[in-house]
Chains A and B, each alone.
Chain A
C-alpha cells in the first residue's frame, strides 16, 4: 500500500509562479525524500529531509516536514518550463514496519509558458 500520498494530483501554473505540493504519510519515518520524474531524465532525487529536521532548502526548492502531522511540503519558487514533471515523495520507514522506500502516486506539475 502507498505510504505517501501527494496532493494535489495535478497542478498547472504559469511560469514564474511558485508551486506547492504536499505529501502525507502514515507511519513513523527515518527520512522523507522528494523525487522528480520526466521523460527526459528519468527519476531524479531532489532533496532528503530527516525526521529530526523541520525545513531544508536546495536552490529554488524548499521542503518542510511536520512529523506530528505526518506531512511534508515541497515548494518550487520562480517556476520554469523545465520544472514540468511528476513529483513524488518517498518515505523511509525501515524498522517501522515498511521495507524499502515507499513512494506516493505523485503530483503532475505543468508549467505554462
Chain B
C-alpha cells in the first residue's frame, strides 16, 4: 500500500506570497491532519479534515487554511507569508475515529523556506 505523499518536497517563497501544499493520504484513510515543525516550537497541530470537513483546528492565524476533497486528498494554503512560516509541514492520515486519534501515518513533509 502506498504511503502518504506530499508535494512539493521543497519550496522557496518570499514574504507576502502565498503557497499551497498538497497531501495524498493512504488509500482508505479519511482523516488528514497537518502539522508544522520548527526547531523552536517543535511539532504543532494545524488542523484535521475528515470527510471534507474541518473537524479540529489548532491555534494558528487565519492565514493558514486547508481543505479536503472527496477523494480525501488535502491541501493547505498559507497566505501573506512571513519569515516565521519557514518550517517543515507534515501531513498525516489515519483511520481516526470521531472520539480519538489513532495511529498517524506521516508523509515526508514539505520544507518551506520564506525569504
Residues on A facing B (Cβ under 8 Å): 2, 30-31, 33, 35, 42-45, 48, 88, 90, 92, 94-95, 99-106
The reply to whether B102 and A48 form a contact with Cβ atoms under 8 Å apart is yes
| B48 within 8 Å of A (CB atoms) | yes
Pair A45/B103 contact, Cβ less than 8 Å: yes
Contact B58 A100 (CB under 8 A): yes
Which residues of A have CB within 8 Å of B101? 30-31, 33, 92, 94, 100-101
Chain A interface main SS type? strand
By the criterion CB–CB under 8 Å, are B43 and A103 in contact?
A: yes
Chain A to chain B contacts (Cβ below 8 Å), 12 pairs = A30-B101, A35-B106, A42-B108, A45-B106, A94-B99, A94-B101, A99-B58, A100-B35, A100-B47, A101-B45, A101-B104, A103-B44
Pair A44/B106 contact, Cβ less than 8 Å:
yes
Return the CB mask of B77-106 against A: 1 if under 8 Å, else 0.
000000000000010100000011111111
Range class of the B interface residue count: 20 to 34
* Chain B: minimal CB distance from A25 (Å): 14
**A80 CB → nearest B CB, Å:** 22
For A103, the chain B residues whose CB sits under 8 A away are: 35, 42-44
The A-contacting residues of B in range 1-58, CB under 8 angstroms, are: 33, 35, 42-48, 56-58
Is B66's CB within 8 Å of the partner chain A?
Answer: no
